[in-house]
Structure 1
Amino acid sequence: MPCSPCTIMEYDIYELIQIETGNFLKRMGWPVNSTTDEARVKWKLAMKFLIPMKFDVDRAINLYRAHETIRKTENLDRIWINNPNLIREIQSNKFFSLRQLPNQPLNVYFTAAQVSNGSSTNSLSQQERELISLQALICQLDVATESVEIQNSGLNFIYDMQSCSASQFDMNLSKKILRLVQGNYPAMVKTIFIVSAPKWFKIAYKVTMHSADQMRDVLITHYGYSLNDLPTSLGGSFDAIIDGDNRYQTCLSTIMDSQSICHSYYSLDYQPVTAKPTSNILFFNTDHYHHNQNQDATSSQTPTASVVSSPSKSLVAIVQLRRNHDSSASSSQIRGRKRESSSSTDSEKRRRSNESLIEEEPPKMRSLIYIPQEISSK
């Protein structure tokens, strides 16, 4: 009996998923046909990045690399889940997800106003508070996107700016959050809603502006929520703080599962936050470098240079300035002109005077030459 067109289509889609997922794994150098626990996690990880990119392998790999980069840059690659400040932030009403409805994007809520979680947060610096907020946000996103259903349905981001004055608003944190959810996180962000944005708020991202009443109507009429599902800030009766402990326990149990996709980003042990190196490029004058090399031929001393960071395979950018050469050349030209002026005619002097009024073209810098750093140590 011949197969129906629907059955053939389902088979083709399943086969396409298998092929593209295998291609992703091969490109990343991960096991393809292995049945180990690690291989199963890698398979789920590949799916998490392929789904929002509609199984375009190149785009999925670019998203994975961008996501890994931003996690390392913002100290989100090894999160201490037992950090008391992080626990309080997750338990607060600052960031949480609304109830997941069938066949609808997950609606996640974040308030831009600074929320006080006790006196302990007052001892934190501004940078530490931003880090805790980012960690609480990405932790709950990681847990939510473990679900294949949410990976397929995507999410909406509700950014509530009610009661947020200019003095309370953290512009740097807002930029980091929007940069994270806009193209650097493996989830299909359907819409970013900005609630009650003040007049001074300017944004370069494509967002949808609503008042609190309009946002409540959208969630009820378009997405099917009831008032019991909506937070009190939007006119509902849901108190996110009451559900805070359950929210943290859900996060803890999910991320500590070795089979979860996000398990490697978290730790139960204290993780000190270290400053990231800003550069692994060394700049120095090659004239000075070669001058020191010439001195090495007559003495046993070896020149040294200060290195910003010294990974064994980093590159050294050599900038050839030639300042001494340029200055000596210009001084010789001046002396030559003085000698000529003593024996030249008045007409020649006037001609040279007019030529000197023409702005000379500045000397061109030589392009950067990259060589392995091992050469600089020889």
Structure 2
Amino acid sequence: MSILTQSETPHELAEVLLDLVTDTLDYPVCAVRYVEDDRLVPTVASPPGQEILGPHADCAVDGPHAAAEAFRTGTTLHYNDAAEADGIDAPSPLQSVAHVPLGPYGSLSVGMTESGSIPPFDVRLLDVLAQNAESVLRRIDHEQELVDAKETAEKMSRLKSAFLANISHEIRTPLTSILGFAEAIGGEVEGARRVEEVDLASLARFSSLIEQSGQRLMDTLTGVLNLSKLQAGEMTLDLEPVDLAAEAAAAAHEFAPQADGAGVALELTEEDTAVWARADRSGVQIVLRNLLSNAIKYTEEGGTVWIRARTDGEHAVLEVEDTGIGMDPNTADVLFEAFKQASEGIGREYEGTGLGLTVTKEVLDQMDGAVAVETEQGEGSRFTVWLPRAAEEGEEPERGTSGS
């Protein structure tokens, strides 16, 4: 038992169990099965057992195998004569068998080729051994939970640091601009002796810069608020037929000035017919705005951004593709984690909180949608969004909310 408690992994414990049964209790036929995906999968088996029975196959938890029966009932099954198994086991060279449950983890099987060769006292020893093994497995599980909790806490701490750094930057920078330009306007007005001397061109330029900084502040707060409401289940999404082609056209029109200002060509691929999806119109716009904003932001002057809507089997599809900076494909999956983009260092070269793609994924999850990215460093990126397809605007959809 002392050796058993020193096991640090389930596989190590299975090997110790096997050694104890075959060496200490002197039963050459032994196998330990663990539960994986509703099946009892042989983890370790003694060589003599494999010689007698051949390779041990896994078995369904709800199947007729005696090991599965012992696991389901939590009761040791012991047969002095294999014929007593009454069909639970397939015919085999074994005569005496015992299947002992390992709690919720699996089962321990012991067998002999002679009838009546596993005495009741040894069956009790196997019960005690299995109970101790279950305790060790629970301890291993608990230790793993503590390790996972520690890693989660460390990750949350890093995310908190990234959040504070990003938010402070995204608020302080536009606020500094707003205060500076407001002071410049005040100085311009105070320095003029008459109204006619006020430089209206300067005032207009300062006003425009204040507006831009204010919009950046609003975008920052909107991203944080949207993510918070989505995760708290406070953003209601009404699912109904939405024409993705029309929504794509509206988003392209909205972002045309931003693309022109960045020197980026924004091209809309229009379908001849509507592309109906079962979605929430405001949710679709959140997705499009985030994807288009990122595409334009990370595309250099002279590049191109495409937006497309199409059907694909049972799905309605949106695509936003660009010729921008792209990224390493191996790191693309983490883009949908909150603040991950900025924490990798890219955020400080390009403004933003790193929340856009996180909000995008949250919205799509609550509309039964999905998003994926194909990208290559220096070659650009393509984000593809799938939503359930709706037949037409007049269909009567199921209605739901984003409660969880």
TM-score by length of 1: 0.20
Q: Which has the higher strand share?
A: 2
Q: Greater RCO between the two (CA within 8 Å, min separation 6)?
A: 1
Could you say which structure has the larger radius of gyration? 2
TM-score by length of 2: 0.19
